[in-house]
């Protein structure tokens, strides 16, 4: 799924093979619709239709675009599903990203902006108003795919399971009558964790500057771009968001990363349905107060944590 391995872990006394297979099929279907790298994907066809009026899309793609636009509005544009031309300019959709010319970035920003995307959920159609525009759903589609799998697993009778798309995950029920234990990765040591969360029936997603980046002139350029500047967002190393749905957790982790520490903390305080953990460039940690009783910090980390 968009370059990430998806794992389903489940606990049951029964055999559930067809249910699990259905869940994987659903994930593959989402990928075939929304992966921009696939020339035949629905998303590639939407992008090819930019500037030419409405384009009919499947209900799942329409749903993700609608939700992506909603999160764009709620985060003041920090989340923007219309960044495809910019991501392509940087080459973050390829194996060889590179630093573009300042003038190319400015020119490309004219072809982005979620306010130039129209989604008509009643007729399942989408319009990109200008030629050269394009959607990139890389910050939200994985979360949606996890949620699709979760509802199929539930409908198939499973109660205790985790669907994990490379760290963006949902944990359902409990693990042998205890909550599931989920680690938050250390941005500098991908195999180490800074904390363990105890979770049940919740989604978690993390966005970090260590997933996809290159270094030039001693500066790290990573794949989470600030739609306002056209450059990688600065200030944070990683953002973890907890939510009821994986789609929201996925998109909000990206959005709050772009907002930066101060704005992101304010946003979470004003939206108590979500909780978050931020790691800044000084490796200081800021966490929602609601997580205090659910979190076990690594010993070396404990003294760096501030709750909000
Ligand atoms: P990961 O794919 O590592 O889990 P994210 O969920 O944070 O990371 O998504 C990053 C992806 O989202 C990028 O690769 C790009 O496709 C897209 N993206 C980058 N910046 C933004 C942004 N400001 N708004 C929406 N999507 C973005
Ligand atoms: Mg994300």
**Span 46-85, pLDDT tens digits:** 999 999 999 999 999 999 999 999 999 999 999 999 999 9
User: What's the confidence (pLDDT) of residue 170?
Assistant: 98
217-226: long-range pairs with CB below 8 Å, 24+: 221/90, 221/97, 221/99, 223/87, 223/90, 223/92, 223/97, 224/139, 224/254, 224/257, 224/258, 225/83, 225/86, 225/87, 225/90, 225/92, 225/258, 226/78, 226/258
**Is 111 inside any structural domain?**
no
**Is 255 inside any structural domain?**
yes
- 137 SS3 class: coil
79 alpha carbon – ligand 2 mean position (Å): 10
**Is 203 inside any structural domain?**
yes
Task: Look up the CATH number of the domain holding residue 220.
Answer: 3.10.520.10
- Ligand located closest to 1 CA: 1
Local confidence band at 229 (pLDDT 50, 70, 90 cut-offs):
very high
Q: Which atom of ligand 1 is nearest to the CA of 225?
A: 20
Q: Which atom of ligand 1 is nearest to the CA of 4?
A: 2
Query: Which structural domain range is residue 295 located in?
Result: 170-307
Mean residue pLDDT of the chain comes to 95
47 alpha carbon – ligand 2 mean position (Å): 21
Whether 82 is in the pocket of ligand 1, judged by its Cβ within 6 Å, is no
Whether 227 is in the pocket of ligand 1, judged by its Cβ within 6 Å, is yes
pTM here is 0.96
**Is 187 inside any structural domain?**
yes
**Is 265 inside any structural domain?**
yes
**Is 218 inside any structural domain?**
yes
Local confidence band at 286 (pLDDT 50, 70, 90 cut-offs):
very high
155 alpha carbon – ligand 2 mean position (Å): 26
Through-space distance between the first and last CA atoms of the chain, rounded to whole angstroms: 35
Q: List, as ranges, residues with CB under 5 A of the ion ligand 2.
A: 139, 207, 250, 253-254
Q: Which of 51, 81, 50 is nearest to 65 (CA)?
A: 81
Residue nearest to atom 15 of ligand 1 (CA): 138
User: What's the confidence (pLDDT) of residue 240?
Assistant: 98
User: What's the confidence (pLDDT) of residue 149?
Assistant: 97
- Ligand located closest to 87 CA: 1
Whether 80 is in the pocket of ligand 1, judged by its Cβ within 6 Å, is yes
Pocket test for ligand 1, best of 34, 64, 208, 223 (most atoms within 8 A of CB): 223
Q: What is the average per-residue pLDDT within 126-139?
A: 97
Whether 134 is in the pocket of ligand 1, judged by its Cβ within 6 Å, is no
Whether 224 is in the pocket of ligand 1, judged by its Cβ within 6 Å, is yes
Residue 15 confidence (pLDDT) above 90: no
Ordered strands of the 295-297 beta sheet: 180-186, 189-199, 295-297
302 alpha carbon – ligand 1 mean position (Å): 29
- CA dist., res. 60 & res. 31, Å (int): 11
From residue 216, how far is each of 97, 169, 292 by CA, in Å? Answer: 11, 32, 38
As a whole-number percent, the residues of the chain with pLDDT over 70 amount to 100
User: What's the confidence (pLDDT) of residue 38?
Assistant: 76
DSSP string, 160-203: EEEEEETTEEEEES-BTTB-EEEEEEETTEEEEEEEEEEESSEE
224 alpha carbon – ligand 1 mean position (Å): 5
- 64 SS3 class: helix
Whether 225 is in the pocket of ligand 1, judged by its Cβ within 6 Å, is yes
**Is 61 inside any structural domain?**
no
User: What's the confidence (pLDDT) of residue 302?
Assistant: 84
Local confidence band at 293 (pLDDT 50, 70, 90 cut-offs):
very high
**Is 163 inside any structural domain?**
no
Q: Which of 175, 168, 261 is nearest to 207 (CA)?
A: 168
User: What's the confidence (pLDDT) of residue 163?
Assistant: 97
Local confidence band at 271 (pLDDT 50, 70, 90 cut-offs):
very high
Phi-psi domain of 68 (left: phi exceeds 0; alpha: psi -120 through 50; beta: other): alpha
As a whole-number percent, the residues of the chain with pLDDT over 90 amount to 87
> Which of 1-5, 210-214, 231-235 has the highest mean predicted lDDT (pLDDT)?
231-235
User: What's the confidence (pLDDT) of residue 3?
Assistant: 78
257 alpha carbon – ligand 1 mean position (Å): 10
User: What's the confidence (pLDDT) of residue 110?
Assistant: 97
Exposure letters 9-33 (e unless 16+ CB within 10 A, then b): ebeeeeebeebbebbeebbeebbeb
11 alpha carbon – ligand 1 mean position (Å): 32
Q: What is the average per-residue pLDDT within 186-203?
A: 94
User: What's the confidence (pLDDT) of residue 13?
Assistant: 84
Into how many domains does the chain fold?
A: 1
């Amino acid at each position: 799924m968009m370059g990430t391995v998806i794992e389903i872990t489940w606990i049951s006394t029964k055999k559930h093979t067809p249910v699990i297979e259905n869940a994987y099929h659903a994930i593959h279907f989402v990928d075939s619709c929304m992966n921009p790298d696939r020339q035949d994907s629905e998303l590639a066809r939407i992008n090819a239709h930019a500037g030419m009026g409405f384009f009919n899309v499947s209900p799942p793609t329409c749903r993700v675009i609608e939700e992506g636009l909603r999160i764009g509005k709620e985060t003041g544009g920090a989340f923007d599903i219309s960044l495809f031309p910019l991501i392509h300019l940087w080459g973050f959709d390829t194996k060889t990203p590179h630093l573009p010319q300042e003038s190319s970035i400015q020119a490309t920003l004219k072809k982005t902006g979620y306010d130039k995307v129209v989604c008509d959920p009643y007729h399942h159609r989408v319009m990109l108003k200008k030629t050269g525009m394009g959607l990139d759903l890389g910050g939200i589609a994985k979360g949606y795919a996890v949620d699709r799998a979760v509802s199929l697993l539930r409908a198939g009778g499973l109660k205790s399971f985790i669907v994990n798309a490379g760290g963006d995950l949902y944990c359902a029920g409990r693990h042998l009558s205890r909550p599931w234990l989920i680690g938050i990765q250390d941005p500098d040591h991908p195999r180490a964790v800074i904390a363990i969360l105890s979770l049940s029936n919740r989604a978690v997603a993390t966005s970090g500057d260590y997933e996809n980046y290159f270094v030039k002139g001693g500066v790290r350029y990573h794949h989470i771009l600030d739609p306002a500047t056209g450059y990688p967002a600065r200030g944070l190393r990683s953002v973890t968001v907890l939510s009821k749905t994986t789609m929201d957790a996925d998109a909000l982790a990206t959005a709050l990363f772009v907002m930066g520490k101060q704005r992101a903390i304010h946003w979470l305080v004003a939206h108590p349905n979500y909780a978050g953990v931020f790691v800044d460039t000084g490796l200081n940690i800021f966490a929602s107060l609601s997580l205090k009783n659910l979190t076990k910090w690594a010993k070396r980390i404990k003294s760096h944590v501030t709750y909000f």
